[in-house]
Amino acid sequence: MLSPPNAGPIAFSGSPLDRADNLRADPDALAGLMNWKARLLALDEMMPDLDDTGRLAWGTLADAPEDAELVFLGIDRSDGGEKACFAAVPKEGDAKPRMANPRLWSLMATLDPGDLALYGGARSLIDWHARHRHCAACGGDTHIAKGGWQRDCGSCDAQHFPRTDPVTIMLAEYEGRLMLGRGKGWPEGAFSALAGFVEPGETIEEAVAREVFEESGVRVRDVSYVASQPWPFPSQLMIGCHSYADDDALVIDETEMAEIRWFTRHEVVASLAGDGPFRAPPPHAIASNLMKWWLEKTA
């Protein structure tokens, strides 16, 4: 599992499943896996059920609703055996913002890292299926293909694939201080790394420079990659980067940001420990890993 040195594991990474891509295009092989040993992820709509030990709960394929589409998640070999794992596509995706679901935040903080990674991947995949039952080309009905890693249109034969949206999340450094921001609607005192979607036709480095300038008015250079994080709300890939600022004069985009400030190394250390001038991101957010990485780099 990749992570910044000594910054801890990155949440939603490190799934224990073998994705078994070679089996997805083989209907006979997939059918052979759908036996009594196969497991079905137990879900209440988009939220996972937990067993008595706090781990993900599993049932059998017999527990799936009669008309449910089943997605092949991969093969679990953790106990020396070989169990195919599936999830059922819900009737609807999850349109609620993640901040509105306290149970989800609690889950991210307490679930076993391997289970969290498995659930995150399953959540992104079944949410995509629930939202893409109609063809973007002709509007016709689509059906599941390749074990759930594709949808095909029954009218025009168009093929559709699960999406991943790249997002840069970046630290900007100037003379030993770190730029952090508080977005519109965030709680008072909560600061994190700036972030934004990569737009068509730009590199990661260009997206970092553009987003930082748009939100803070600061030009950055020497962009470097640090680490990445799958973020299944609904299907983002957070690309963690570091950059150096040319100056510290802020011109804040008030349509997106409530505050942007520069913080010293001491202030970042204290805040991550829970006793500083700002509320740090939770440990399961990659921004926390990036800050810990920066502290190590500047030690």
For residue 246, the model assigns a pLDDT of: 95
Question: For residues 71 and 125, is the Cβ–Cβ distance under 8 A?
Answer: yes
Q: Which parts of the chain register pLDDT below 50?
A: 1-3
Q: List, in order of start, the domains of the chain with CATH numbers.
A: 21-131 (no CATH), 165-297 (3.90.79.10)
Place of tokens 């805040």: 271
For residue 176, the model assigns a pLDDT of: 96
For residue 180, the model assigns a pLDDT of: 98
Please state the φ and ψ torsions of residue 50, each to the nearest 5 degrees.
Answer: -120, 150
Prediction pTM value: 0.94
Q: For 227-243, give one letter per residue: b (16+ CB within 10 A) or e.
A: bbbbbbbbbbebbbbbb
For residue 4, the model assigns a pLDDT of: 54
Report the phi/psi class of residue 189: left, alpha or beta, with left for phi > 0 and alpha for psi in -120 to 50. Answer: left
For residue 1, the model assigns a pLDDT of: 33
For residue 99, the model assigns a pLDDT of: 59
